[in-house]
Amino acid sequence: MIISNLSIPYRFYRLLIVICVPGLLVILAQLLEEHSEILQQSEFKAILLAEHIAAVQQNDISETKALLSQLARHPELNTTIPEQCPSILRYAQTLSSRIANIGIVSPEGNVLCTIISNVKPINISDRKYFQDANKTKRFTVGQFQHDRSLNKATVNFAIPVIDENNNIRHTIVVAQSLTKWSHALAKLSLPVDSEVMISDAQHNVIAHYPLQPAQLGRPLKEFWPSTLDTAQVLKDGNDQSRIYLQLPLEQSKPLTSLYIHFSLPFEDAVNRANSKVATTLILFILAILLIIWQAKWQLNRVLLQPFKALQDAIAQVTKGEIAQWENKQSSPEFYVVTQQFEHMAHTRLNAEQALTHKHAELIALLTALPDSYLRVNKDGEILMSHGPFSKSASSIDVIFPEHVFKRIMAQLALLEEQPYSQLEFSHLDTDNIQRIYECRINHISEHQQAILVIRDISQRKEHEEAISLAALVYNNSSECMVITDANGFILDTNPAFSQVTGFKREEALGKATSILSSGKHDKHFYTQMWQQLCEQGYWQGEIINRRKDGELYTEWLTINTVYNQYNEAYRRVAIFTDITDRKRKDELIWRQAHFDQLTELANRRELKRHLKIQLENTAVKVGILLLDLDHFKDINDTLGHYFGDKLLTEVANRLTALTPSCSLISRIGGDEFVLVTNTNHTTALTKLANAVLAQLKPSIQIDNEQCHISASIGIAHAPVDGDSSELLLKAADQAMYEAKQHGRNGFAFFNAQMREQAEHRMTLLKDLRVALAQQQFALYYQPIVKMTDQSIVKAEALIRWLHPDKGIVSPALFIPLAEETQLIHGMGEFIFNSACDTLCTLNQLGHQVQLSINVSPVQFTAKHSTLNNWHQQLNAKGLTAEQFVIEITEGLMMNALPRTQQRLAALTKQGFALALDDFGTGYSSLAYLKQMDTDFIKIDKRFVDGIANSADDLALCEAMIMMAHQLGLKVIAEGIETATQHQLLLQAGCDFGQGFYYAKPMPLDAFVKLLNK
Give the tens place of pLDDT for each residue, 749-800.
988 677 777 677 778 888 888 888 888 899 999 999 999 999 999 999 999 9
Write down the number of H helices and E strands in the chain. Answer: 31, 36
Is residue 24 predicted with pLDDT exceeding 70? no
**Looking at residues 383-394, what average pLDDT do you find?**
77
**Looking at residues 499-518, what average pLDDT do you find?**
89
Computed over every residue of the chain, the mean pLDDT equals 82
CA distance 185 to 299: 69
- Give the single-character DSSP code of 759: H
Contact between 970 and 992 under an 8 Å Cβ cutoff? The reply is yes
CA distance 226 to 70: 39
Q: How many angstroms from the chain centroid is the CA of residue 125?
A: 60
Terminal Cα distance for the chain, rounded: 157
Q: Which value, to the nearest 10 degrees, does the dihedral of the CA atoms of residues 178, 181, 182, 186 take?
A: 170
Q: How far is CA 165 from CA 66, 81, 139, 158, 168, in A?
A: 23, 18, 19, 20, 9
Q: What is the pLDDT of residue 309?
A: 62
More confident residue, 571 or 586: 571
Secondary structure (H, E, C), 785-801: EECCCCCEEEEEEEEEE
Contact between 481 and 508 under an 8 Å Cβ cutoff? The reply is no
CA distance 788 to 987: 10
**Looking at residues 186-207, what average pLDDT do you find?**
80
pLDDT > 70 fraction of the chain, expressed in percent and rounded: 87
CA distance 672 to 674: 7
Helices (H), 851-897: 857-861, 870-877, 890-894
* Pairing outcome for strands 700-702 and 705-707: antiparallel
CA distance 937 to 913: 11
Which strand ranges, in their side-by-side order, compose the sheet holding 382-386?
Answer: 382-386, 372-377, 449-456, 434-444, 420-428
**Looking at residues 411-433, what average pLDDT do you find?**
81
Is residue 489 predicted with pLDDT exceeding 70? yes
Per residue in 359-372, pLDDT (tens digit) is 777 777 766 677 88
For residue 148, the one-letter residue type is R
Is residue 305 predicted with pLDDT exceeding 80? no
- Mean pLDDT lowest for which of 102-106, 187-191, 260-264, 315-319? 315-319
Q: Which residues pair with 450 in a beta bridge?
A: 376, 443
Three-state DSSP at 410 gives helix
Q: Which residues pair with 68 in a beta bridge?
A: none
**Looking at residues 642-667, what average pLDDT do you find?**
89
Secondary structure (H, E, C), 45-94: HHHHHHHHHHHHHHHHHHHHHHHHHHHHCCHHHCCCCCCCCCHHHHHHHH
Contact between 606 and 592 under an 8 Å Cβ cutoff? The reply is no
**Looking at residues 488-493, what average pLDDT do you find?**
90
- Give the single-character DSSP code of 322: P
CA distance 62 to 930: 88
Q: What is the pLDDT of residue 673?
A: 94
**Looking at residues 3-10, what average pLDDT do you find?**
50
* Pairing outcome for strands 792-803 and 850-854: parallel
Q: What is the pLDDT of residue 328?
A: 46
CA angle 316, 322, 328 (to 5 degrees): 70
**Looking at residues 147-171, what average pLDDT do you find?**
86
- Mean pLDDT lowest for which of 316-330, 428-442, 820-834? 316-330
CA distance 546 to 456: 51
Residues shown for the chain: 1013
Contact between 262 and 246 under an 8 Å Cβ cutoff? The reply is yes
Q: What is the pLDDT of residue 558?
A: 92
CA distance 940 to 950: 15
Helices (H), 114-171: 128-136
Q: What is the pLDDT of residue 327?
A: 42
CA distance 456 to 389: 10
Q: What is the pLDDT of residue 3?
A: 43
- Mean pLDDT lowest for which of 152-156, 326-330, 783-787? 326-330
Among 373-382, 519-528, 823-832, 991-1000, the range with the most confident prediction by mean pLDDT is: 991-1000
Going 499 to 503 to 504 to 509, the CA torsion angle's sign is: negative
Cβ-Cβ contacts under 8 Å for 9 (sequence gap 6 or more): 296, 299, 304
Going 128 to 130 to 135 to 140, the CA torsion angle's sign is: positive
643 by Cβ neighbours in 10 Å (0-12 / 13-18 / 19+) ranks as middle
Q: Which of 969, 960, 901 is nearest to 935 (CA)?
A: 969
More confident residue, 954 or 183: 954
CA distance 527 to 716: 52
Which pairs from 652-656 meet CB under 8 Å and 24+ separation? 652/598, 652/599, 652/600, 652/601, 654/695, 654/696, 655/601, 655/692, 655/695, 656/601
* Pairing outcome for strands 850-854 and 884-888: parallel
More confident residue, 36 or 657: 657
* CA count, 13 A, side-chain hemisphere, 864: 3
More confident residue, 388 or 786: 786
Across 668-738, the runs of DSSP E, i.e. the strands, are 672-677, 700-702, 705-707, 711-717
CA distance 390 to 133: 87
- The DSSP secondary structure of 212-271, one letter per residue, reads -GGGTTSBGGGTSPSP-SS-EEEE-TTS-EEEEEEEES-TT-TTTS-EEEEEEE-HHHHH
Q: Which residues pair with 773 in a beta bridge?
A: none
Among 597-611, 807-821, 923-937, the range with the most confident prediction by mean pLDDT is: 597-611
> What is this structure's pTM?
0.40
CA distance 302 to 294: 12
Is residue 258 predicted with pLDDT exceeding 50? yes
CA distance 545 to 487: 19
For residue 1001, the one-letter residue type is P
CA angle 443, 449, 450 (to 5 degrees): 45
Q: Which of 937, 944, 956 is nearest to 980 (CA)?
A: 944
For 246, phi then psi, to 5°, come to -130, 145
CA distance 42 to 241: 12
Phi-psi domain of 959 (left: phi exceeds 0; alpha: psi -120 through 50; beta: other): alpha
Is residue 344 predicted with pLDDT exceeding 70? no
CA distance 316 to 14: 30
CA distance 894 to 115: 95
**Looking at residues 969-981, what average pLDDT do you find?**
93
